[in-house]
Amino acid sequence: MKILIAVHHWFRLWNAPPWLAPRLQERFPEHTFTQIASLESLSKELEDTDILIGYQLRPEQFAHARRLKYIHTTTAAVHQLMFPELIASDVRITNSAEIHGRVVAEHAMALIFALAKAIPASVRYQIKSEWGQQELWNRTPPREVAGATLLVIGLGSIGNEVARLATALGMHVIAIREHLERGAGHADEVYAPQELDRLLARADYVVLAAPLTGKTEALFDKCTFARMQKTAFFINVSRGPLVDEDALATALREEVIAGAALDVFPVEPLPAESPLWKLDNLLITPHTAALTDRLWERHSARITENLSRYFAGQPLLGEVDKRRGY
């Protein structure tokens, strides 16, 4: 079989390292591994490709992939692949959600601590060489995390790890997930998505870790933020389109909620003219939640495991339900 590695991004870490194809070739010498550094030749390469390792594929490119049987994405999200032709095909898809889960969860917890302890405000005083103790206490008094209620929306690999870490810190974790039959995981309570409005009023912190689907796009809008407590913090480490940015900006300016932290945005990089940059009660990280120096070692291990399973006819790890979109 021909296995094509086609991962290209302007951000260096997202690109497959040059050692990946040779390492896989050594592990599976009976197959052929091809790694391309750009996507210019993707359509041509797909003509005789059996397995694609990558996440960038458009319908017109997929039309060339007549032999394609399996795609392993190096992303947790797969919404970019959910076009009708691919959904209707027999091509199987696995994602890398478990690769990113623990790392993104750590970042979410860091954001919770930063908001709770007023770290962004402290940094602003430091930049001005000001001892802002009294001003900080008057404006954004630090809080204790233990004993607070955390609402986690989405209980996949990221959300469940957030729940585990938060529980260890003494937080009470309530969660929303699509499939209640899968249990509460590390959360103390779990509910269906229909309970969101009621649960928002209970939460001191809300972490959004749900996949992007037709049901979740713009999940957080003006009405959603209005149902949160005025003292609550909102954190998004999933996908930008789940949040109406204008509604969030208004909620922060009018202090409908106490503050927020965003790692993802509908348009990335976030445009310099975006009003979000100027909001004192918003902490922005530039889509760094999944960054780790161990990223491609983890990818390599997962790709190797899933290829072994695929060639042996065994169940694949992280297989996507194309009809559900995750």
What tokens appear for 99 in the block? 């690769």
Tokens 């999933």 belong to 238
Element spanning 262, H or E: strand 259-262
Distant-in-sequence, close-in-space partners of 179: CB < 8 Å, separation ≥ 6: none
Would you mind telling me the total number of residues written for the chain in this entry? 326
Q: Which residue numbers are catalytic?
A: 239, 268, 287
**Among candidate residues 160, 157, 170, the one with its CA nearest the CA of residue 75:** 157
Q: How far apart are CA 64 and CA 42, in angstroms?
A: 9
Q: Residue 41, CB half-sphere, CA atoms under 13 Å: how many?
A: 11
DSSP H helical segments within the chain, as ranges? 20-27, 42-46, 59-62, 84-88, 97-116, 119-127, 133-139, 157-168, 196-200, 222-226, 245-253, 295-312
What tokens appear for 100 in the block? 């990113």
What tokens appear for 14 in the block? 């997202």
